[in-house]
Amino acid sequence: MELLRIMIIFLVFGGLLGVILVKVYSALNINTTYGWLGGISILVLLFILYRNKLQFSGWYNGKGREKLSKRASYLLFMISIFLLILPLLLNIVLY
């Protein structure tokens, strides 16, 4: 059941955030060739959210239920922000 819940969370929230990201990139006239970097960024953000908050409200109560360390969360968050901005930077440099 928990795996189904994870898939639904990632598909629904990831899909909604992906649509919003495409609209933002389009509004900023960013070439969507590198839009997949934003998709990876969304997945990383959802992973952080799941590991630090959502896994504790699910059905699974077994081993391995622990939060990411603050350092790991911060590092992943910074990587995600960089991946969100990278298509903009590549658009400026390459086009």
pLDDT one-digit tens code per residue, 8-39:
999 999 999 999 999 999 998 888 888 899 99
Please provide the average confidence, as pLDDT, over all residues in the chain.
Answer: 90
Cα-Cα end-to-end distance for the chain? 46
Tokens representing 26 are 């389009």
From the list 65, 60, 81, the residue with the least C-alpha distance to 5 is 60
Q: How many domains does the chain have?
A: 1
Q: Which of 24-28, 38-42, 56-60 has the lowest mean pLDDT?
A: 56-60
- State the Cα–Cα distance between residues 27 and 22, nearest whole angstrom: 8
State the pLDDT confidence band at 94, using cuts at 50, 70 and 90: confident
At 51, give phi and psi (nearest 5°): -65, -30
- Dist CA 65 CA 51 (whole Å): 8
Domain housing 82: 2-94
Model pLDDT, residue 95: 77
- Both tokens of 53, joined, read 């908050």
Q: pTM of the full predicted structure?
A: 0.86
